Amino acid sequence: MNFSGKTAISTGAASGMGLLFSQCFAELGGNVLMCDVNEEVLQEKVAEINAKGAGRAVGIVCDVRDYAQVCAARDKAVEEFGSIDLMANFAGGTAVRMLKVDPELEFPDIPIDVYDWGIDVNLKGQFYFAHAVMKQMREQKSGLIINIGSITGMEGDGRGMDYPTAKSGVMFGLTKSLAQYGSKYGVRCVCISPGPVLTRTAMAKMKTLLGRAAEPQEIIDLILFIASEKGQFINGENIMIDGGRNAMTRSMG
């Protein structure tokens, strides 16, 4: 795979899969605009990528819940690199975990602003970036939007309800709708929905038919394939990469 001359935007890019994607895309010759709220770590990671001398990275502080900041990130990518060929929406997380909510609190007792945060980051953040970058992609008549779903969007979560609510909306309504609109302008949209991934050690406890969680690189490799010349016929689809977890009977889970 060679992404020389191509530009990607990655959210959640200072850590986890957003960072791994940025590193891999740049190693394959591409340029990447890395977005995150943690400026210090973000700039450190940008410098590390640029020191390798393959593709080029630029960092920008961006809260995906703020549409003005999202548009500023889009404009920065075009200003620096001239195009946006790939939008990768990695920023996300379950609000009750990210905001360290008391584990004794149940759904009706958890403050609604916790759930607002989760829906804003996991659903509206991806929606905002899609809306913003589609203007550029429509003009250049090409592009790929990668949404990130989750096995939780299929299974639900009786406590962290913001997460499956947001992810299921991304996996089906948003992804299909973007593919429908984008088809007029040569723009594709695909959702990648992982099962357990070893970005956190706790994920190893989730069962799959393959008996293990995914390595983060396995998720990124799928995204890079879809973005490559070999993946151009994939569009409007939610692709589960979950080791067969979604195929398990409920008694096995």
pLDDT given at position 201: 85
Residue 250 has pLDDT above 80, yes or no: no
Confidence of residue 249 (pLDDT cuts 50, 70, 90): confident
CB-based contact 211:169 (threshold 8 Å):
no
Residue 253 has pLDDT above 80, yes or no: no
Average the pLDDT over 130-156 and give the result. Answer: 98
Residue 165 has pLDDT above 70, yes or no: yes
Confidence of residue 27 (pLDDT cuts 50, 70, 90): very high
Question: Which 3 state secondary structure label does DSSP give 12?
Answer: coil
pTM above 0.85, yes or no: yes
Average the pLDDT over 114-128 and give the result. Answer: 98
Average the pLDDT over 232-237 and give the result. Answer: 98
pLDDT by residue (tens digit) across 43-84?
999 999 999 989 999 999 999 999 999 999 999 999 999 999
Catalytic residues: 163
Average the pLDDT over 207-218 and give the result. Answer: 97
pLDDT by residue (tens digit) across 170-197?
999 999 999 999 999 999 999 999 999 9
